[in-house]
Amino acid sequence: MNIRQIRNATLIVTFNGTRFLIDPWLLPKEAMPGFDSAVNPHIRQPRCELPISVEDIVRVDAVILTHWHPDHIDEIALGALRKDIPFFVQNETDRATIVGFGFTDVRTLSEAGLPFHGSTLFKTGGQHGRRDIIQPICEGIGMPYDAMGVVFTAPGEKTLYIAGDTIWCPEVKTALDAFRPAVIVVNACAASVASGEKLIMGTEDVSTIAAYAKDALIIASHMDTVSHLTVTRADIRALHLSNVVVPEDGESISQ
């Protein structure tokens, strides 16, 4: 497999010969304001430009959207992707949304797994911040709370787990125990709401998952891009964890 960090949670994953685009957030630098309900609302985002062209990014075989949040997909991606591309989502609500933009091959993943081009994609659970605290905040501002992770399996390939927007929680542990992935991608900038409560993993979560899955390669993604980050690439690297890598935008990792 090959995992190319594009920007934020946007990845191009080549797995078993198929190119998957994950969470395509393709806006130019500073095109949208910071989130009013989060820290640093005065900082515009994305904080940096894309490392390659939109045309190169969308030259893929399929798309996976882990959840419908404005830092994971945007109108540029929706306009640039071909409308018949296989498009995988977490639930029927997101499916209806994507279909509403004219896409004709939108598929809902499940925990039971969905075959695609010789691989199987499994939906996994998580907590986009502590459920008891963050879910009511999301509902109060009309933003969905749930986000999925995805496990990729195929004969002859190492197992890949993209955890998605989640903190360390029982659902993540369940996925690790069930699939024993060799490669794990975690979103790790500790993006936080105004109270300081984090929405995704930070240094403590990364340390925990690195210890729990000590034989896996862990890739820290979703770094140095959103307005409401509270952890940087430098912070993760300063942990000096031997099984954690922190790619720059545009960088590829093969396994």
Alpha-carbon torsion 200, 202, 208, 213, what sign? positive
Amino acid 142: pLDDT: 87
Q: What is the pTM of this model?
A: 0.98
- Report DSSP letters for 207-246, one per residue: HHHHHHTTTSEEEEES-S-STT----HHHHHTT--TTEE-
Amino acid 162: pLDDT: 98
pLDDT tens, 148-173?
999 999 999 999 999 999 999 999 99
Q: Nearest 5°: CA angle at 177, between 138 and 116?
A: 75
Q: How confident is the model at residue 45 (pLDDT cuts 50, 70, 90)?
A: very high
- What's the token pair of residue 85? 């591309």
Amino acid 165: pLDDT: 98
Other beta carbons less than 10 A from residue 146's beta carbon: 19
Amino acid 143: pLDDT: 87
Q: What is the Cα gyration radius of the chain?
A: 17
Task: Kindly report the average pLDDT of the chain as a whole number.
Answer: 97
Amino acid 141: pLDDT: 87
Q: How far apart are CA 189 and CA 148, in angstroms?
A: 17
Q: How confident is the model at residue 29 (pLDDT cuts 50, 70, 90)?
A: very high
pLDDT tens, 161-207?
999 999 999 999 999 999 999 999 999 999 999 999 999 999 999 99
- Given a cut of 90, whether residue 216 has pLDDT beyond it is yes
Spell out the domains of the chain, with CATH numbers in brackets: 2-247 (3.60.15.10)
